[in-house]
Structure 1
Amino acid sequence: MSSLRFFEIYRNPEYLWLLAKGALISAALTIGGGILGFLLAVLLAAVRHYRVPVLAQLAAAYVEFIRNTPLIVQMFFVAFGLPLLLGYQWPFWAHALLALSINFSAYFAEILRAGLASLGAGQTEAADALGLPRWLSFVKVCLPQAVAAMYPSLNSQFIFLFLTTGIISEIGVTDLTWAGLFIDSRNFRSFEIFFTLTVIYLLMSLGFKTLLALLHDRLFKWKVVR
């Protein structure tokens, strides 16, 4: 233990700033990717739930493709493949946000589809009896209940995907993992820096869990606990 020198990290303002900035970037991209991914997932789940011709098959193929390919491959394709194909160039963080949104959407869509399937036909029939348009019955009746039922799964999937975001450093995003690798390249204290990263990721995960639990209490006050 006497050979451990954590003070080389916490006594250096530059290193502390890099870790704080990296943690903020990791959190921001995770939250942004989660929100955009959830919105796309709602569309994918609705298309599959109502079996929209052609679109349902395309949505199913999209979900299976994303869920069965590595995130890092998707990241490299978005960051380096799409710019070559489409002739554009975005900042590294924008490429990471797009890739994370795409990845999140496939996993969230499958969870939401399972939640919608668990509701049964009675919910839709009741909305139809009230004269609600199909889109309104989905937004007001089916979707809230599906999200409430599958919230623990969505929560767990969000945390899991957050913990995989360290690979965005591979395309040059200065996230938390990038900060750790940079510091390690300067002081060669690998154990100390990766132990520090572990603690930071753990604290951030617990923070996300707490915020998501509070969000659940605010959004689903109507849910009856059995």
Structure 2
Amino acid sequence: MTPPPSRDFPWWLLIAATIAAWLMWQVVADDLYSQILDTLLRGVWITLFVTTVGFAMASALGLLVALAGLSRSIVIRQIARFYVEIVRGIPILVLLLYVAFVLAPALVAAWNWATGWAGFEPMRTRDFPLIWRAILALVIGYSAFIAEVFRAGLLSVEIGQIEAANALGLNRWQRFRHIVFPQAIRTILPPLGNDFIAMIKDSSLVSVLGVLDITQLGKVTAAGNFRYFETYNVVALLYLIMTVTLSLLLRRLEARLRQAPR
């Protein structure tokens, strides 16, 4: 009998590790690869900063939108639904450009209008760093998807648990904190981890704004040395190391959550 897919030997991982080992050997043995890696490593910190800060803020906003979508008020629910459906329908790249060149100047103008009466020096659009415009775009874009993850997780909690909490006299915040969220987090964490991995890859789009992440430094390096094959090999290797490592950790987390008693 054919074993289930979950028990298959991870040949894909063996092949990927072999390719990664070959590339790492090239980095060690080839001066050109070493120079490219030294240059691109500066972009790793920018990529991790953009991803970590953006995901944390997107998760917080997504939770608020999810709670708004479950509100008793039809107005609040419809506002949350409008936000989710509109934002999810816009490509991340388009949203990135819109936030950088439309929303950011509008925010600066609004700030100047709101603080003008207090005598503050007017803020210029160029004072709004491109890296924070990129983070804001990722926060808006991913919060809509994360909101659906939170909403599905919160709705997965059995209604009997909530009714029991009501019977014990817990208020809404106590029910959420002690009953609903601890159970929902089991359902939420795996897809939330997938969104984090997706954001690492989508963070490469910030290079269109000139943010010096891995992709942008790769483009600049390749344009300077004309060694596109070697440069983009290293770019791909750095992204793969981050995403594959996180994917394996996420699988272990999912296995632990399945085995943990409810």
TM-score by length of 1: 0.86
Structure 1 residues 55 and 209: alpha-carbon distance in aligned structure 2, compared to 1, 3 A threshold: same
The DSSP-based 3-state class of the residue aligned with 1:174 is: coil
The DSSP-based 3-state class of the residue aligned with 1:167 is: helix
Question: Is residue 2:48 matched to residue 1:10?
Answer: no
Measure how far apart 1:18 and its partner are: 2.9
Q: Contact 1:79–1:95 (CA<8 Å) still a contact in 2?
A: yes
Q: 2 CA distance for matches of 1:31 and 1:152?
A: 17
Q: Contact 2:190–2:250 (CA<8 Å) still a contact in 1?
A: no
Structure 1 residues 109 and 169: alpha-carbon distance in aligned structure 2, compared to 1, 3 A threshold: same
State how many pairs are aligned: 218
The one of 58, 77, 87 equivalent to 1:66 is: 87
Measure how far apart 1:210 and its partner are: 5.3
Q: 2 CA distance for matches of 1:17 and 1:11?
A: 6
Q: 2 CA distance for matches of 1:171 and 1:210?
A: 31
Instruction: List structure 1 segments (4+ residues) > 6 angstroms apart after TM superposition.
Output: 213-218
The DSSP-based 3-state class of the residue aligned with 1:198 is: helix
Q: Which residue in the other structure is 1:57 paired with? A: 78
Matches within 5 A, 1:155-194: 155-194=193-232
Moved more, 121-130 or 67-76: 121-130
The DSSP-based 3-state class of the residue aligned with 1:142 is: helix
Q: Contact 1:33–1:100 (CA<8 Å) still a contact in 2?
A: yes
Q: Contact 1:67–1:103 (CA<8 Å) still a contact in 2?
A: yes
Q: Contact 1:49–1:116 (CA<8 Å) still a contact in 2?
A: no
Provide the identity percentage. 35
From the CA coordinates, give the structure whose radius of gyration is larger.
2
Measure how far apart 1:212 and its partner are: 5.2
Measure how far apart 1:221 and its partner are: 11
TM-score by length of 2: 0.75
Question: Is residue 2:163 matched to residue 1:112?
Answer: no
Question: Is residue 2:141 matched to residue 1:103?
Answer: yes
Q: Contact 1:9–1:193 (CA<8 Å) still a contact in 2?
A: no
Q: Contact 2:190–2:254 (CA<8 Å) still a contact in 1?
A: no
